Amino acid sequence: WIDKFVLGLVLSAGLFAVYFNGSVDIPFLPLLLGAVGSSGLMQLSYDNREEAPLQIQNKTGRILSCIVFPAFFFFYLFRYEFIELTFSVQYLEAVPIFLMSILVLPLRAYKFTTILQHKHMGRIINIGAILDIAIACGLAYPLYLKMGLSGIALSFVISTYIQSGYYLYHTAKVLNVSVVKLMPIVNWVIKFIVFGIVFIGFFYLLPAGYKKEIILISGIVFTLLVMLIAFL
């Protein structure tokens, strides 16, 4: 929320509303990530097997990707309909900002701090949080000059990816494994490709003459169906 706080002081009300709506958080994903992370911590607390942390992290990554990846493709493909019908047609300028913001969604398929929390490595987690803020603030102005308000949104996406890499590095170090083993990469790559093909095919098969409300509702229903099938 640092970006919103600062921009609220320096932008006009109209421009700030465009940025605020474009950088809106998808509400259910942080809740889902928190719930899965708490569940993982509970399992780690009573499973003392050496391989338990890797197994639990990989399992939660596979589960979360069944929701996060379809959500990413939905918001990417239906971004214009989502912004226009969620807010109004006057906020279509927020679409490029929203596009930058949702680039962080694939990271929500993994809870990066679970093992660090389990190992009581709060110092590493706090350093990662400070690193995230510092990089985002450092990139925000240069990217704003280059890309406008979309650049500010992108700066926070880039900082989050760097922070996630920092957490992965220290998690791999504490478990004495390679970073690749921490994540179900093959599972993710297959899902990402399959979901991408399925969603792009569905989106471009929708008749162009449909009302935007019908298109968005169709996309929501299709996304929920894909999530359910992926879960099963």
The arithmetic mean of pLDDT across residues 152-179, rounded, is 92
Q: Summarize the confidence of residues 165-172 as an average pLDDT.
A: 93
**What's the half-sphere exposure (Cβ side, CA atoms, 13 Å) at 57?**
25
Average pLDDT of 155-166? 94
Answer for the pair 158, 134: CB distance below 8 angstroms, yes or no.
Answer: no
pTM for the model stands at 0.88
Reference 171, options 56, 36, 35; nearest CA is: 56
Residues 7-57 pLDDT 10s: 777 777 777 788 777 877 777 777 877 787 788 778 877 777 777 788 888
Residue-by-residue DSSP string for 113-137: THHHHHTT-HHHHHHHHHHHHHHHH
Mean per-residue pLDDT for 148-162?
Answer: 91
pLDDT digits (tens, 9 = 90+) for 68-105: 999 999 999 999 888 888 887 887 888 898 999 899 99
pLDDT at 6: 72
Q: Could you tell me how far CA 106 lies from the centroid of its own chain?
A: 5
DSSP structure class, residue 202 = H
Which one-letter DSSP state was computed for residue 206? S
Express each pLDDT in 184-225 by its tens digit. 999 999 999 999 999 999 999 888 778 888 899 999 999 999
- Between CA 79 and CA 99 the distance in angstroms is 7
Range from 85-94, 131-140, 171-180 carrying the lowest mean pLDDT: 85-94
For all residues of the chain together, what is the average pLDDT?
87
